[in-house]
């Protein structure tokens, strides 16, 4: 075989850190400025918006500063926080936004920058390290040591956070971490697990229901597209600057390093909606919340400490019902009901609420008000979207319409603002979840593809010169949303139209400066950047070996199926048994009509060939510890029947483009406004 199947799988695995590929080597460093100044329209809009905000409410800052035991040393701060030192974290700076940042988003950026060390949540019992990653890591005292709850995104961040905790906790720093708990199936909550496991080999690991399955399922099949889109959402190629990335809504940003995954010894809530478990002598009550913020998720109550852990169901803002990087739409109704269930079950006996993101909330009454407002924000979005849809409001209009029916109490509350999930895209997500993308207008049933439609649009409008002339006039009036629509049509047809690219980039930039949502800002600014200079380098793309090793054979076969080029495969049908002796599993695989099918069967079927390979050896191949060819040669794996079947499969597979085009990018030498991204290179 020219290249083994599993070798091809490894070369294109999408799982891992944010990736942003690189087109232009001479822009190998991102400029210190990275953007133009805010326009007069943007300045006016941001100032007007600021007048609607209640900056006198500083409770979130008070909660953040409460219990600070130790501020970060240089090494710990360098993980993320120190790169945002252009943001003064004092509450006095909260209403002092630069012209190029939405004043509400700026306040959130200041609040998240104020998370700077080890905090005491419950004296002698619960501590948090906040500010080293997108999530916080919590340490809960048990009989013989500490329980670590949610262990950050990377091994490096978790290891340094653990060290910082041990060195600064008032007492018990020499005690072991006896247990590790993952609240849900997103990487910023389990990715640092190997740092804890290596420091404490006997640590017991607990996870939410079906966590391993959901970790793989959410990321594999559309993983390449998600990875490229994630780079946009989190601004992977943007400089940390008032003209670039200022915040990630949930925290300052994502750490860099190895994403790891230590398998849970026990998964919660398989038998009970609320499961009570004693972990190292500490009673903990776990409520299943799967299908809300994550496909696998749980929240926890600790009776002896009167402490409620809400996972990622709450934070200081509105979360995503649809995440812009791409994922299945989340159920806003279920989300609101789970928050209500927490409130009804534990609200009257809770003294402190703490979570994966943001500072805790103290006091039973304050917690009750907080949970009610969070509950009602998701309930409002779900219920009012459907009320509007039932009265004929269509998908395209829903994003604006939802704001016209928003109660003043939700508008005026800081922790329901749309920093991560905006009401605009969340309302459209609810519509899509129930009714899909089609609004029943016949004109939208079978539109032309993007480029042919754009060509007709430009033709009908009298050509690109006339469109550009009108767009320039609208730019002066600040009508950026329609300029984005019109000029996008132009550059789809004329990607080398320098003036159109320049003006569209300027337009995206101003929209980014006005955006309250961190993801919206990053997407607009990344789009502007790519229009100007192409795709700059971001974080390295590295697959997670721990996650790869836990993919099921069905996962792998399904992943192969989405990589089959149906035209190549249409004339090479075959059947194949895949026998996994150590798992006592057999799969029947059939290539038919250019489509790869698989099903688990009780015994080998009549097939062109049979591949025998142990699951443990599949893991070794995925971890690049051995090749399939070597296993076949030494007899650890075997193939019976028509050996050409493997080559037919290999020949049909394609690798996804990790840097596929989102906006038309310039060829080398055709960049515009490149000086915005050369500043750092010149120093």
Domain locations in the chain as residue ranges: 58-369, 447-535+663-676, 544-652
pLDDT tens digits, 488-538: 999 999 999 999 999 999 999 999 999 999 999 999 999 999 999 999 887
Q: Can you read off the two tokens belonging to residue 630?
A: 């070597």
Sheet with 146-149, side-by-side order of all strands: 68-71, 117-122, 126-130, 137-141, 146-149, 177-182, 204-207, 266-267
Q: Is the pLDDT at 13 greater than 70, yes or no?
A: no
Q: How remote is the C-alpha of 485 from its chain's centroid?
A: 26
Q: What is the 8-class DSSP label of residue 246? A: -
Strand, coil or helix: 234: coil
Just give the CATH number of 58-369.
Answer: 3.60.15.30
Report the C-alpha gap between 210 and 283 in whole angstroms. 22
Report the C-alpha gap between 36 and 284 in whole angstroms. 52
Which has the closest alpha carbon to 18: 440, 364, 325, 250?
A: 325
Q: Which residue has the higher pLDDT, 292 or 625?
A: 292
Q: How remote is the C-alpha of 319 from its chain's centroid?
A: 11
pLDDT tens digits, 372-427: 999 999 999 999 999 999 999 999 999 999 999 999 999 999 999 999 999 999 99
Least-confidence region, from 171-185, 194-208, 393-407, 551-565: 551-565
CATH 3.90.1150.10 for domain 447-535+663-676: no
Q: Does the model's pTM come out above 0.85?
A: yes
Q: How confident is the model at residue 24 (pLDDT cuts 50, 70, 90)?
A: very low
Just give the CATH number of 544-652.
Answer: 3.30.1050.10
Pairing of strands 574-580, 609-612: parallel
* Cross-strand bridge partners of residue 287: 274, 299
Q: Which residue has the higher pLDDT, 529 or 22?
A: 529
Report the C-alpha gap between 251 and 261 in whole angstroms. 22
Chain position carrying tokens 């940003």 = 253
Pairing of strands 609-612, 638-641: antiparallel
HSE on the CB side for 27, CA within 13 Å?
A: 32
pLDDT tens digits, 334-352: 999 999 999 999 999 999 9
Q: Is the pLDDT at 647 greater than 90, yes or no?
A: yes
pLDDT of the residue at 167 = 98
Q: How confident is the model at residue 549 (pLDDT cuts 50, 70, 90)?
A: confident
pLDDT of the residue at 682 = 36
Please tell me if the domain spanning 58-369 has the same topology as the one spanning 447-535+663-676: no
Which has the closest alpha carbon to 270: 296, 302, 300, 307?
A: 296
Report the C-alpha gap between 295 and 522 in whole angstroms. 25
Q: Which residue has the higher pLDDT, 5 or 216?
A: 216
- Contact criterion met (CB below 8 Å) for 329 and 433: yes
Strand, coil or helix: 609: strand
Q: Is the pLDDT at 25 greater than 50, yes or no?
A: no
Q: Can you read off the two tokens belonging to residue 301?
A: 């109550």
Report the C-alpha gap between 397 and 391 in whole angstroms. 12
- Contact criterion met (CB below 8 Å) for 66 and 119: yes
Q: Give the residue-averaged pLDDT of 639-668.
A: 95
């Amino acid at each position: 075989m020219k290249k083994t199947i599993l070798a091809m799988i490894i070369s294109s695995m999408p799982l891992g850190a944010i990736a942003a590929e690189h087109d232009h080597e001479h822009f190998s460093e991102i400029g210190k400025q990275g953007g133009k100044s805010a326009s007069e329209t943007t300045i006016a809009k941001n100032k007007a918006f600021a007048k609607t905000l209640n900056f006198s409410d500083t409770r979130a800052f008070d909660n953040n500063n409460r219990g600070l035991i130790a501020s970060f040393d240089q090494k710990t701060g360098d993980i993320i926080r120190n790169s945002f030192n252009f943001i003064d974290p004092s509450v006095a700076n909260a209403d002092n936004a630069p012209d190029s940042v939405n004043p509400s988003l700026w306040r959130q950026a200041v609040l998240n920058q104020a998370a700077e060390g080890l905090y005491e949540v419950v004296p002698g019992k619960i501590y948090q390290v906040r500010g080293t990653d997108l999530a916080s890591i919590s340490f809960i005292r048990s009989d013989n040591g500490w329980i670590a709850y949610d262990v950050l995104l990377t091994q490096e961040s978790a290891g340094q956070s653990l060290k910082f905790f041990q060195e600064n906790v008032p007492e018990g720093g020499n005690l072991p971490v006896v247990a590790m708990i993952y609240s849900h199936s997103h990487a910023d909550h389990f990715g640092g697990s190997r740092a804890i496991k290596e420091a404490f080999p006997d640590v017991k690991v607990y996870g939410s229901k079906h966590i391993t399955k959901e970790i793989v399922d959410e990321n594999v099949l559309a993983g390449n597209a998600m990875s490229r889109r994630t780079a946009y959402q989190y601004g992977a190629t943007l400089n940390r600057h008032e003209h670039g990335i200022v915040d990630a809504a949930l925290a300052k940003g994502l750490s860099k390093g190895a994403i790891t995954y230590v398998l849970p010894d026990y998964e919660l809530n398989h038998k009970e909606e609320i499961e009570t478990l004693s972990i190292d002598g500490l009673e903990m009550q776990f409520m299943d919340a799967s299908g809300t913020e994550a496909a696998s998720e749980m929240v926890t109550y600790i009776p002896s400490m009167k402490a409620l852990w809400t996972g990622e169901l709450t934070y200081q803002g509105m979360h995503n019902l649809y995440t812009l990087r791409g994922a299945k739409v989340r159920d806003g109704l279920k989300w609101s009901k789970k928050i209500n269930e927490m409130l009804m079950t534990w609200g009257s006996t809770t003294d402190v609420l703490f979570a994966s993101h943001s500072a805790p909330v103290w006091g039973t009454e304050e917690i009750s008000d907080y949970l009610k407002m969070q509950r009602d924000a998701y309930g409002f979005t779900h219920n009012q979207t459907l009320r509007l849809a039932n009265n004929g409001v269509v998908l395209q209009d829903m994003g604006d319409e939802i704001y016209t029916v928003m109660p003043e109490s939700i508008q005026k509350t800081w922790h329901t603002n749309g920093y991560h999930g905006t009401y605009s895209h969340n309302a459209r997500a609810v519509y899509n979840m129930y009714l899909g993308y089609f609004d029943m207008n016949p004109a939208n049933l079978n539109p032309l593809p993007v480029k042919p439609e754009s060509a007709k649009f430009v033709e009908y409008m009298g050509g690109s010169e006339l469109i550009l002339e009108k767009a320039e006039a609208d730019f002066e009036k600040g009508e950026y949303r329609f300029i984005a629509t019109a000029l996008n049509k132009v550059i789809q047809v004329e990607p080398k139209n320098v003036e159109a690219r320049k003006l569209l980039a300027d337009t995206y930039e101003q929209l980014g400066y006005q955006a309250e949502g961190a993801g919206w800002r990053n997407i607009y600014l990344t789009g502007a950047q790519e229009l100007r200079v192409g795709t700059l380098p971001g974080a390295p793309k590295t697959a997670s070996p721990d996650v790869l090793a836990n993919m099921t054979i069905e996962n792998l076969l399904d992943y192969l199926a989405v990589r089959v080029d149906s035209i190549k495969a249409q004339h090479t049908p075959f059947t194949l048994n895949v026998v996994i002796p150590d798992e006592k599993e057999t799969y029947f695989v059939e290539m038919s009509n250019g489509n790869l099918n698989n099903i688990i069967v009780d015994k080998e079927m009549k097939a062109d060939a049979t591949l025998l390979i142990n699951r443990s050896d599949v893991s070794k191949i995925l971890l690049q510890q051995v090749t399939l060819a070597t296993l076949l040669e030494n007899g650890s794996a075997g193939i019976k029947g028509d050996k050409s079947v493997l080559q037919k499969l290999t020949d049909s597979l394609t690798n996804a483009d990790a840097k596929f085009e989102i906006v038309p990018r310039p060829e080398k030498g055709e960049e515009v406004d490149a000086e915005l991204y050369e500043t750092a290179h010149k120093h």
